Amino acid sequence: MPERPYTLLSCSVSLDGYLGDRTPRLALSNEADFDRVDEVRASCDAIMVGAATVRTDNPRLLVRSQARREQREARGLTPSPMKITVTQRADFDTDSNFFTTGESEKLVYTASARVRDARARLGPVATVVDGGRRVRMRRLCEDLADRGVRRLMVEGGGVVHTQYLADDLVDELQLVVAPFFVGDSSAPRFVTDGRFPWNAGRRARLAEVRQIGDVVLLRYALSARFQDS
């Protein structure tokens, strides 16, 4: 079977399972948990988010801690991991933080038919990768492994989560639950509709429960490759 990176899906949700409330970057987590996420980021080779997250949240996706950036550099790595997104429309502001911050490589996967247009729009700020007739996450992961990515962090949003989880590509799920409700069914959910490998007949293994101030981290082992560190 072709190789794929160890894949860790990390996100925070409201008590009613939403990723946000339609305003950019709703803080579902707290400072202590942001720092924990920063540590996880620093341990990865690449971070992936969907195009809607790039447009809505304008994330930088950098390692925040100076000490962690220096530790990475001492290991011969860039201060922050490579950034990856996926798009059909390739409709991005090239001044957005995804493209303008950090020294690491930025990869944009898109379908073969869209590559030319995407390269014309994004050529100067990112590497546009031909993801095939339709971009499938399994193939994308195999391509990342070929590029030397051994550890991948998937950080949203729900459309991207759904594909990774339904295709059984996630080794570890880190789900943080915030102590409040969003209460708006038009807000983005943790996942959209899908056929997931874990259901009432095949329950996921809960590997850890950790209270971090007013939020709780749930770690699930979703594959035999799960690393209990």
Ligand X SMILES: NC(=O)c1ccc[n+]([C@@H]2O[C@H](COP(=O)([O-])OP(=O)(O)OC[C@H]3O[C@@H](n4cnc5c(N)ncnc54)[C@H](OP(=O)(O)O)[C@@H]3O)[C@@H](O)[C@H]2O)c1
How many other β-carbons are positioned within 10 Å of the β-carbon of residue 188?
22
> Going by C-beta distance under 8 Å and a sequence separation of 6 or more, which residues neighbour residue 131?
86, 109, 110, 111, 112, 139, 140, 143
Number of H helices, E strands in the chain: 7, 9
Judge whether 3 and 141 are in contact, CB under 8 Å: no
Binding flag, residue 104, ligand X (CB under 6 A): no
How many other β-carbons are positioned within 10 Å of the β-carbon of residue 139?
15
Binding flag, residue 89, ligand X (CB under 6 A): yes
Annotate each residue in 170-199 with x if it binds ligand X (CB under 6 A) or - if it does not, as one string: ------------------x-----------
Question: In the complex, what is the shortest distance from the CB of residue 33 to ligand X, in angstroms, rounded to a whole number?
Answer: 10
Q: Tokens 């304008």 label which residue? A: 58
Out of 30, 43, 56, 97, the residue judged to bind ligand X by CB under 6 A? 56
Out of 53, 80, 104, 174, the residue judged to bind ligand X by CB under 6 A? 53
- Segment contacting ligand X (CB under 6 A): 69-77, 85-93, 119-127, 196-204? 85-93
Residues that contact ligand X, how many (by CB under 6 A): 26
User: By CB under 6 A, what part of segment 120-139 binds ligand X?
Assistant: 135
> Going by C-beta distance under 8 Å and a sequence separation of 6 or more, which residues neighbour residue 110?
86, 87, 88, 90, 118, 128, 129, 130, 131, 135
Residue number with the shortest CB distance to ligand X? 157
Out of 44, 46, 48, 51, the residue judged to bind ligand X by CB under 6 A? 51
User: By CB under 6 A, what part of segment 18-37 binds ligand X?
Assistant: 19-20, 28
Distance CA 110, CA 40 (A): 27
- Segment contacting ligand X (CB under 6 A): 64-72, 144-152, 157-165, 218-226? 157-165
Out of 30, 88, 97, 127, the residue judged to bind ligand X by CB under 6 A? 88
Distance CA 146, CA 159 (A): 24
Out of 52, 207, 216, 221, the residue judged to bind ligand X by CB under 6 A? 52
> Interface with ligand X by CB under 6 A: which residues?
11-12, 19-20, 28, 49-53, 56-57, 86-89, 91, 135, 155-160, 163, 188
